[in-house]
Amino acid sequence: MANILRSLLHRLGAALIVLIGISMLIFAIARVMPGDPARIALGPNATAEQVAALRLERHLDASLPVQYFEFVKSLARGDLGTSLYTNRPVTTDIAQFLPATLELVLVSGILMVLIGLPLGILSAHFRGRFPDHVGRLIALLGVCTPAFVWGVILQLVLGYFWGWFPIEGQLAQSTVAPPLVTGFMLIDTLLAGDGAAFLDALHHLILPSLALAMSGLGQTARLTRSNMNEVYERPYVEMARAYGFPARRIATRYAFRPALIPTLTILGLEFAAMLGNAFLVEKVFGWPGLSRYGVEVILRKDLDAIVGTVLIIAAAFLIVNIIVDILVNVINPRIRLAAGRA
């Protein structure tokens, strides 16, 4: 246990260094992009004096290192600056928009694992036969069709033609929004004890999260399939067959677990990538999330908001990676036991 803790601290330290690097990079990039943020924020009707005043207020005329120093100073107080666009603290904006995105991405991640892994197992188990062909087709379509196209297709077929699912938003017009506690609609409706609202929120969540999950789901299925096919060639699978282990048990256990270890690492990356890919899905489904906010602030050259959003998404990415690393260690006894000895 102490080892896991130590390696966790080690990884957190490394993640912090990466975050600092990213903050410098995005800070610099945001400021070398063409266009004057103060002018964009105030609009074409503002006077030169007003623009100059805003530039002064936001230290926009200082050198980059000085600006970065100011940024770090306020960051230490938990202040990410103020959005030029919404005129609110960036932290407030993020707190408002992040939960919706996290909810979407988490549910997508669950769908990715719950559909992608079994699809890959089925393909490997029925290699070269009908279920494999179907599984591979789904996986391939998932990988090569962008999430927003899936969004539109799902909206059109399941939402519009068949009417099974609502087309956009987090809740139906008739549903009363629950009091804001965590910002996660599913949790807040449960906390409010409103079962109907919870089901409504879930109902609204399915299409966007499926659209977002499709690519990672396809990738997961493909990787699981190819890793398992490789494992099927190993002597220990032949041993399992020679000792009469049921074929289904070999597929779901003895061939699956060794194949899961390399798959899991990619799964983590796919999961984290969804944070960034979410914006098109959020756009298509009118989802009030952080990714959509991020795109809007980039287009408006809203410096503090850009840096804040990117940092939060980077932090989420790093956290997911750390969790995946830990999971790989738990699943792979070779690594777990080697760490125990060191």
233 is an interface residue for other proteins by CB under 8 A: no
73 binds other proteins (CB under 8 A): no
User: Which of 27, 150, 254, 287 is in the footprint of other proteins by CB under 8 A?
Assistant: 254
Of 48-56, 62-70, 176-184, 229-237, the window that binds other proteins (rule: CB under 8 A) is 229-237
Q: Which residues contact 305 (CB under 8 A, 6 or more apart)?
A: 81, 83, 84, 85, 86, 90, 93, 293, 294, 297
240 near other proteins, rule: CB under 8 A: yes
Tell whether residue 249 is a contact of other proteins (CB under 8 A): yes
> Other C-beta atoms within 10 Å of 141: how many?
13
Q: Which of 16, 8, 21 is nearest to 322 (CA)?
A: 8
What does the block give as tokens for 82?
């103020």
Give backbone dihedrals phi and psi of 63, rounded to 5 degrees, phi first.
-70, 160
Q: Which of 6, 72, 236, 248 binds other proteins (CB under 8 A)?
A: 236
- When asked if residue 258 is in the footprint of other proteins (CB under 8 A), the reply is yes
CA-to-CA distance for 318 and 306, rounded, in angstroms? Answer: 18
Least distance in Å: CB of 337 to other proteins? 7
- In angstroms, the CA 86 to CA 65 distance is 26
Nearer to other proteins (CB atom), residue 225 or residue 301: 225
- 248 touches other proteins (CB under 8 A): no
One-letter identity of residue 83? S
Q: Which of residues 196-225 bind other proteins (CB under 8 A)?
A: none
Size, binding site for other proteins by CB under 8 A: 23
Give the whole-angstrom CA distance, residue 251 versus residue 255.
Answer: 5
Nearer to other proteins, 59 or 249 (CB): 249
* Rounded CA Rg of the chain: 24
Rounded Cα–Cα distance for residues 226 and 205 (Å): 31
Q: Interface with other proteins includes 239 (CB under 8 A)?
A: yes
Half-sphere exposure of residue 136: CA atoms within 13 angstroms, side-chain side: 13
Task: Pick the binder of other proteins from 158, 190, 261, 298 (CB under 8 A).
Answer: 261
Residue 253 in contact with other proteins, rule: CB under 8 A = yes
Q: To the nearest whole angstrom, how small is the minimum distance from the Cβ of residue 132 to other proteins?
A: 12
Pick one of 130, 161, 233, 334: the residue that binds other proteins (CB under 8 A).
Answer: 334
Nearer CB in complex with other proteins: 209/224: 224
Contacts (CB under 8 A) with other proteins, residues 292-331: 331
Among 131, 257, 299, 339, binds other proteins (CB under 8 A): 257
User: In the complex, what is the shortest distance from the CB of residue 239 to other proteins, in angstroms, rounded to a whole number?
Assistant: 4
Nearest C-alpha neighbor of 86 from the set 94, 78, 74: 94
- With CA atoms as reference, report the closest residue to 107 among 216, 239, 248: 216
- Shortest gap between Cβ of 227 and other proteins (angstroms)? 13
Residue 235 contacts other proteins per CB under 8 A: yes
> Closer to other proteins at the Cβ: 33 or 330?
330
Q: What are the Cα distances from residue 162, in Å, to 44, 59, 284?
A: 47, 55, 19
332 binds other proteins (CB under 8 A): yes
CB 65, CB 27: distance < 8 Å: no
Residues of this chain that interact with other proteins (CB under 8 A) are 128, 234-236, 238-245, 249, 253-254, 257-258, 261, 331-334, 337
